[in-house]
């Protein structure tokens, strides 16, 4: 996930205790992430938005998800959009390679 997660992104400081998924921490301004989110199903987009809103609310209240749902598995490392991000990156690399002779 190099180049997509930033060390200056404020979400990772509080994200794990609030039960976000790893993919929820991706920087949405990255071109490949934006495109992958556009291609994602409405259910995936809704679930991601709800997780982020819940994490913000819990952070504001200074609570952890374990206070409300102890033992609930949030599938932290489940990948829903990362496969699309990989495909978009490879497409962009192939496009750059095919157009490299045209730049000379």
Specify the pLDDT at position 13: 46
Specify the pLDDT at position 4: 52
Nearest to 85 by CA among 19, 40, 44: 40
Split the chain (104 residues) into runs of 10 and give each run's mean pLDDT: 50 57 87 94 94 86 77 79 94 90 70
> Is there a contact between 38 and 82 (Cβ–Cβ < 8 Å)?
no
Specify the pLDDT at position 92: 94
Q: What is d(CA 63, CA 102) in angstroms, rounded to the nearest whole number? A: 56
Query: Tokens 């819940």 correspond to what residue?
Result: 54
Phi, psi of 75, rounded to the nearest 5 degrees? 50, 60
């Amino acid at each position: 996930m190099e180049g997509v997660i930033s060390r200056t992104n404020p979400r990772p400081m509080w994200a794990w205790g609030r039960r976000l998924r790893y993919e929820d921490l991706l920087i949405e301004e990255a071109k490949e992430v934006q495109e992958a989110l556009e291609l994602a199903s409405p259910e995936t987009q809704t679930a991601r938005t709800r997780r982020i809103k819940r994490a913000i609310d819990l952070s504001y209240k200074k609570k952890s998800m374990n206070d409300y749902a102890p033992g609930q598995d949030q599938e932290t490392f489940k990948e829903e959009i990362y496969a699309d991000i990989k495909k978009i990156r490879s497409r962009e690399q192939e496009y750059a390679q095919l157009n490299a002779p045209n730049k000379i």
